[in-house]
Chains A and B, each alone.
Chain A
């Protein structure tokens, strides 16, 4: 079981060494100071973000009125950047739930400091991913037909279609992780409420759902939290398995493989953890919470990356092996094409970013604890994982059964429209994240305190509002 091996050896001792110096109050202050009125820097960042988003929106509007022709599709490549990016964001979402739910159940205490960020990332990533199917389809205005609703016409969605499974999987996932996120926030928002004044106080007051911190509340809260964690856990595996079946259920050589579900889940956590690193490393610096999110936490994430990355690398080799071993000319043709064909660049980018670089570096502790390097590699992994989906989708479609219909006469090249929308999706995600980090406690006060030594008599026991 992956998570235990990572959960248990989480270096408690060091964590305590670094964090035990903190009092409950200190925790509250350090974390809640992030909620102070945003400064100029934040505003500039936020405006830039909105500008980028606007370009993406405009590009989509243009596509909507003109037709999907403005995207770079070159049949037989009829799925490309949009679906790639969809899978990418769904993948990002996963590690969030892994860290917040599964590791919670496994009592991996190191998760406490980073889980809130991870969980927020999950919610926002799913919100981003959810857009792409709509951007991708030819007639978004009738996309609601994928939802089952009764009608005299007796027309239902086709429950055989993986795309319909997708609708269920993703919407369920969003509902659960959003709930989990909100519930987890309640006590902290209460803390924020107590620390704030004016309209913020009123806002937090509402969001805190009248949390008083009474024993009974704590009792129910922890039960609910535990329950939701248990509920979210299977989703981590199911959702991305379903997403992988969007491909595995097809007959396209390079898609039609049993390995896809585990392969995708591993990939998802791989990219997810990388994304957590990308977000946390700058954040902890900006808001000066190095003491709460220590290098140990980062290293734990790095280990998780290493582990899942190894699974991903293994999956790549297995794909090639099965293609060769099956003797199926179409499978063989496809994988030969991947490594040597028109799009080989994409393939080798993927291999370099996901296998070669991480495997060569992350095995070494000094590098795992080198924060600038971790930031760098987290970016590399994100790029690599985007390309993984690109390779699976575009390359498989570009070269399937009938030679005359191969895509090789004209390659798929990402168009400005798609690029604008792709970048816009990051802006969309960034927008929510910036708001979150400014308006909600982005490190879980409650759970961090859980791993602190309880406030004893001799210490000044001023446990904040609790």
Chain B
């Protein structure tokens, strides 16, 4: 009988369901398994089988959203947005959902590491590790002359302060730099130049009536995406009360954010600012702005130069378009212009953003939708300039010690900088990273930090929003990690009396509490701290009204900060490369999460690899081919290593070259990019960082120069490149079968005018017999579960997709399988390029048809209809004929081609196993892990439905509307997905279903779905964007 510790216990209880799921042979004898008793009652008084929730704060990006961690049997199995948190308001994003796979990542560092002789690492104990650290610190204090450097990600809160103290005292002085490749530096600089305040303003999207984004990907990575998505939905989605605002995207490559725009304008890269100024020019000349927004004469004079005609030539945007935009922008009050993304990381980044500020100012938006002094704490990121200096210092041997935490500069700085090489010149390098990323791999000492779901901390993204991070579970037993705070404090306290005195608390937890005691004095002097603290822990922090923000006048010198009237020179080359942050991986930090790798890019729908986005015309000019080709998969057999053929979309691999370097990637034909521009996403091409990220795709940083922009010192993400065919070809695992609707108008859209008239989108099918002939949903049952999906609210962010993976134990199948259409994603976002130049993002999942085509064809009632309107799929009745999958017109049924739930076949590891330890600890115990050979599909989170009904029964009542949601609906930042009881006329979903925009997808098939869609609302009057969908749909 094997030795059983707590960890195996978790394995058994946790994957008991999974293991069972794997043994599909009915009636076979069960292997001897154990019910291992815990020693004592759980510390948190939790009851096995009953989930408990901990409020905490997400650390996956600097936005600082609040989270609720769902804990079952001592394991976090899911995260949701914290409804009490003012930024996320109960919703979340794909990265937050995937934080679980950071926690249980099989490639997390298992314990402290030190360099061994031959270039590798060796495991050491924490005592050794701390001793080494303390000794080196002592040496540092003697010889370091205060030149130590501590690189962190953007931190806001106590840890930030602790690091400063620690550097000053324990490390004998030094600098702390917060490095984020996706920087707010230019925005801060521009705000200083334009308004004389050095900060990030707050942008009130919700109030804007007309929104122009100059490259800002505010739905993806820019500032605080979840909050902005909510604001965007409020201003742009049709609610039947107020006329929706217009959104125009001005960017050379149409991002996911841009794909939500009613109009896309594609200026030359780097000329976005000129377009903004030309708009300002028109507003000022035609005197369209409000009187209080009159510009100074100096500015007037400066603006004269930027006439639409003059700019049109430089920016390659018709003057009429600019004039039209300017007029609409000024008339709609308040409007809002934001600048970011590649536009804010070019050679004229700051000037561009100054131009955007000027545009806002002359249109009278400052103080309305652009709020200064609103207490945003999103600045303070180290500039490229500072990094250049740092690298020089490192090369010059001027940096005796480098400490890295939450940053990966060896990967995410431009190749021209040569950070990785410079690290070799630093005698002592310490990483606190939990993963063996490129930077950590080059360090001498690795002191793995705990995941944020295991540790204490806080985050203050905005004055008034004080978020707490608290451990939601005991540390994952596989990993011997310690919180960086404790390590810093411990090392300091071990460095002699004098230093120890500066660190009165023994642990970071205590330190944090002390900090919050001070905070309490500020925000709520009265009352007992412990009670206040406990309440803060329950709510996930302390939230008081943030500063409302004020208006400000343009500074006198602003005229001098405007961009020169000429497209900036971007170096030598034939095409312009735009490097953009990946919506899935951000700057690459998400690349080691299998969910995010399998999550299709929201625009190209490609998984697991990098690609070069190229306009079809350009591809034709370069003779780049994209087409069908037969390839061989790796063998998957157990008895025989049979390879299997597959024929997939294969495209030419092109090389992008600059003086700094060369990258190669297959081409993806994108009609929504300028023909003179190519684009590559950040985030892939890791050399380290674990099995899921390593040697996958390419890292565009390798071709970027280290040139920095003058004002803000930010690196540039835009450069000219030489593009050449390599002669090789490669397949890309895309989930898109077609890029347009083929005129089938399955996902409907109507004009604002019609929507306001209340035009009914659905056809009246009552005349046709059909549903009438069917047994309706059982009458004696109080529930009919249903859903509405508002195509006008969906931004395509795909948070719902990852949420579904997390909630329903969906297996990750890998690139080769996705390339064969075998992904298991129960919900997918279909992306269509429409003839009118807009883009439709259509969530598609099992619609739980009342007249389901899948049900009658199942020979064994595995697919059947349940009294509450659900289309049930009974796994252990399923024989696997797959007829249901064929007969489903929506193609939302997924088959288990391999046994993803089984670790090994009698000793031989199963290549298809989807949950390598400890990833299996994340599995939701309430959901079966499906075995081989059965069909599966969206269950509308039946486990949540049953749990809610169970609770309601205990309390002798019915389930209330909004009491619970499906995982997808709960994650959705824009509330595009609404779930509820259709039989309750007061429920939100019932009301939405009554909307004239409500219709059933493929209604002509009379499937009578419980999940219906609401038609997208388009601005018929807004002319189609420059380039329609002439994309060759593969």
A and B touch in the complex (CB under 8 A): yes
By a beta-carbon cutoff of 8 Å, the part of chain A in contact with chain B is 58-59, 61-62, 65-79, 133, 136-139, 141-143, 145-146, 155-158, 160-164, 167, 246, 249-252, 329-330, 333, 342, 397, 400-417
Closest to B745 in A: A329
Is B857 in the interface zone, CB < 8 Å from A? yes
- Choice from A67, A155, A403 contacting B737 with Cβ under 8 Å: A403
- Choice from A67, A141, A158, A249 contacting B899 with Cβ under 8 Å: A67
Tell me, in angstroms, the Cα distance from A142 to B876 when the chains sit together: 10
Tell me, in angstroms, the Cα distance from A112 to B385 when the chains sit together: 97
- B24, B628, B844, B860: which has the most chain A beta carbons within 10 Å? B860
Tell me, in angstroms, the Cα distance from A161 to B862 when the chains sit together: 12
Asked if B891 and A402 make an inter-chain contact with CB atoms under 8 angstroms apart, the answer reads: yes
Chain B stretch 768-802: residues in CB contact (< 8 A) with chain A = none
Is B881 in the interface zone, CB < 8 Å from A? yes
Tell me, in angstroms, the Cα distance from A141 to B644 when the chains sit together: 24
Asked if A78 and B895 make an inter-chain contact with CB atoms under 8 angstroms apart, the answer reads: yes
Is B819 in the interface zone, CB < 8 Å from A? yes
- Choice from A136, A249, A401, A404 contacting B1002 with Cβ under 8 Å: A401
Is B334 in the interface zone, CB < 8 Å from A? no
B287 to chain A, nearest CB (A): 48
Q: Chain A residues near B738: list those with CB within 8 A.
A: 403-404, 406, 408
Asked if B859 and A161 make an inter-chain contact with CB atoms under 8 angstroms apart, the answer reads: yes
A76-B891, A404-B738, A406-B738 given as contacts; is B822 within 8 A of A70 (CB)? Answer: no
Closest to B890 in A: A402
Q: Chain A residues near B637: list those with CB within 8 A.
A: 62, 66, 70, 417
Is B821 in the interface zone, CB < 8 Å from A? yes
- Choice from A136, A146, A252, A414 contacting B860 with Cβ under 8 Å: A146
- Choice from A143, A400, A403, A407 contacting B821 with Cβ under 8 Å: A407
Asked if A333 and B897 make an inter-chain contact with CB atoms under 8 angstroms apart, the answer reads: no
* 9 examples of A-B residue contacts, CB within 8 angstroms: A61-B639, A67-B897, A142-B879, A146-B860, A401-B890, A402-B737, A402-B890, A409-B821, A415-B644
Asked if A250 and B883 make an inter-chain contact with CB atoms under 8 angstroms apart, the answer reads: yes
- Choice from B740, B820, B1002 contacting A74 with Cβ under 8 Å: B820
Q: Chain A residues near B1034: list those with CB within 8 A.
A: 408-409
- Choice from B642, B735, B895, B896 contacting A415 with Cβ under 8 Å: B642
- Choice from A66, A75, A330, A417 contacting B822 with Cβ under 8 Å: A75
Nearest 4 interchain pairs by C-beta: A138-B880, A138-B933, A406-B737, A69-B897
Q: Chain A residues near B889: list those with CB within 8 A.
A: 251, 400-402
Is B932 in the interface zone, CB < 8 Å from A? yes
B644 to chain A, nearest CB (A): 4
Tell me, in angstroms, the Cα distance from A351 to B734 when the chains sit together: 33
A308 to chain B, nearest CB (A): 28
Asked if A138 and B879 make an inter-chain contact with CB atoms under 8 angstroms apart, the answer reads: yes
Asked if A250 and B886 make an inter-chain contact with CB atoms under 8 angstroms apart, the answer reads: yes
- B645, B822, B934: which has the most chain A beta carbons within 10 Å? B645
Asked if B857 and A66 make an inter-chain contact with CB atoms under 8 angstroms apart, the answer reads: no
Tell me, in angstroms, the Cα distance from A137 to B879 when the chains sit together: 6
Q: Chain B residues near A158: list those with CB within 8 A.
A: 856, 858-861
- Choice from B640, B856, B877 contacting A155 with Cβ under 8 Å: B877
B895 to chain A, nearest CB (A): 6
Q: Chain B residues near A246: list those with CB within 8 A.
A: 883
Q: Chain A residues near B885: list those with CB within 8 A.
A: 75-76, 78
Q: Which of B121-129, B142-150, B646-654 contacts A (4 or more CB under 8 A)?
A: B646-654
Is B830 in the interface zone, CB < 8 Å from A? yes
Asked if A404 and B742 make an inter-chain contact with CB atoms under 8 angstroms apart, the answer reads: no
Asked if A397 and B886 make an inter-chain contact with CB atoms under 8 angstroms apart, the answer reads: yes
Chain B stretch 616-660: residues in CB contact (< 8 A) with chain A = 628, 630, 636-640, 642-649
Query: What would 16 more interface pairs be, CB under 8 Å, given A67-B898, A68-B895, A415-B642?
Result: A59-B642, A69-B897, A69-B912, A75-B821, A75-B885, A138-B879, A138-B933, A162-B857, A250-B886, A397-B886, A402-B746, A403-B740, A403-B1033, A406-B738, A413-B646, A416-B644
Tell me, in angstroms, the Cα distance from A194 to B363 when the chains sit together: 111
Asked if A69 and B636 make an inter-chain contact with CB atoms under 8 angstroms apart, the answer reads: yes
Tell me, in angstroms, the Cα distance from A79 to B880 when the chains sit together: 11
Is B741 in the interface zone, CB < 8 Å from A? yes
Tell me, in angstroms, the Cα distance from A76 to B887 when the chains sit together: 10
B993 to chain A, nearest CB (A): 22
Closest to B905 in A: A65
Asked if A250 and B859 make an inter-chain contact with CB atoms under 8 angstroms apart, the answer reads: no
Tell me, in angstroms, the Cα distance from A144 to B880 when the chains sit together: 12
A189 to chain B, nearest CB (A): 39
Asked if B639 and A402 make an inter-chain contact with CB atoms under 8 angstroms apart, the answer reads: no
Chain B stretch 730-757: residues in CB contact (< 8 A) with chain A = 734-738, 740-744, 746
- Choice from A72, A138, A156 contacting B882 with Cβ under 8 Å: A138
Tell me, in angstroms, the Cα distance from A142 to B645 when the chains sit together: 29
A67-B933, A416-B643 given as contacts; is B857 within 8 A of A161 (CB)? Answer: yes
Chain B stretch 992-1015: residues in CB contact (< 8 A) with chain A = 1002, 1005
Tell me, in angstroms, the Cα distance from A207 to B889 when the chains sit together: 53
Is B853 in the interface zone, CB < 8 Å from A? yes
Q: Chain B residues near A137: list those with CB within 8 A.
A: 879-882, 933
Q: Chain A residues near B1005: list those with CB within 8 A.
A: 251, 401
- Choice from A139, A402, A417 contacting B844 with Cβ under 8 Å: A402
Chain B stretch 828-876: residues in CB contact (< 8 A) with chain A = 828, 830-832, 842, 844, 853, 856-861
Closest to A156 in B: B861
Is B50 in the interface zone, CB < 8 Å from A? no
Asked if A251 and B883 make an inter-chain contact with CB atoms under 8 angstroms apart, the answer reads: no
Asked if A404 and B737 make an inter-chain contact with CB atoms under 8 angstroms apart, the answer reads: yes
Is B942 in the interface zone, CB < 8 Å from A? no
Q: Chain B residues near A67: list those with CB within 8 A.
A: 896-899, 912, 932-933
Asked if B640 and A58 make an inter-chain contact with CB atoms under 8 angstroms apart, the answer reads: yes
Is B878 in the interface zone, CB < 8 Å from A? yes
Q: Chain B residues near A397: list those with CB within 8 A.
A: 886
Asked if A62 and B638 make an inter-chain contact with CB atoms under 8 angstroms apart, the answer reads: yes
Tell me, in angstroms, the Cα distance from A160 to B742 when the chains sit together: 34
Is B25 in the interface zone, CB < 8 Å from A? yes
Is B26 in the interface zone, CB < 8 Å from A? yes
Q: Chain B residues near A401: list those with CB within 8 A.
A: 744, 746, 889-891, 1002, 1005
Asked if B642 and A417 make an inter-chain contact with CB atoms under 8 angstroms apart, the answer reads: yes
Asked if B640 and A59 make an inter-chain contact with CB atoms under 8 angstroms apart, the answer reads: yes
Asked if A403 and B856 make an inter-chain contact with CB atoms under 8 angstroms apart, the answer reads: no
A164-B859, A250-B857, A403-B742 given as contacts; is B642 within 8 A of A70 (CB)? Answer: yes
B929 to chain A, nearest CB (A): 15
Q: Chain B residues near A141: list those with CB within 8 A.
A: 24-26
Asked if A251 and B649 make an inter-chain contact with CB atoms under 8 angstroms apart, the answer reads: no
Tell me, in angstroms, the Cα distance from A77 to B821 when the chains sit together: 9
A74-B821, A158-B856 given as contacts; is B891 within 8 A of A79 (CB)? Answer: no
Closest to A55 in B: B640
B339 to chain A, nearest CB (A): 33
A70-B644, A138-B932 given as contacts; is B857 within 8 A of A249 (CB)? Answer: yes
A409-B821, A410-B646 given as contacts; is B934 within 8 A of A139 (CB)? Answer: yes
Asked if B880 and A409 make an inter-chain contact with CB atoms under 8 angstroms apart, the answer reads: no
Tell me, in angstroms, the Cα distance from A246 to B891 when the chains sit together: 18
- Choice from A71, A138, A250, A416 contacting B896 with Cβ under 8 Å: A138
1/0 contact trace for B879-917 toward A, CB 8 Å? 111110111011100111111000001000000100000
- A58, A73, A133, A162: which has the most chain B beta carbons within 10 Å? A73
Q: Chain A residues near B894: list those with CB within 8 A.
A: 75
Closest to B910 in A: A66
- A74, A333, A417: which has the most chain B beta carbons within 10 Å? A74
Q: Chain B residues near A412: list those with CB within 8 A.
A: 647
Asked if A333 and B891 make an inter-chain contact with CB atoms under 8 angstroms apart, the answer reads: no
A344 to chain B, nearest CB (A): 12
Tell me, in angstroms, the Cα distance from A69 to B912 when the chains sit together: 10
Q: Chain B residues near A59: list those with CB within 8 A.
A: 640, 642
Asked if A66 and B638 make an inter-chain contact with CB atoms under 8 angstroms apart, the answer reads: yes
Q: Chain A residues near B735: list those with CB within 8 A.
A: 409
Closest to B831 in A: A404
Asked if A163 and B881 make an inter-chain contact with CB atoms under 8 angstroms apart, the answer reads: yes
B711 to chain A, nearest CB (A): 44
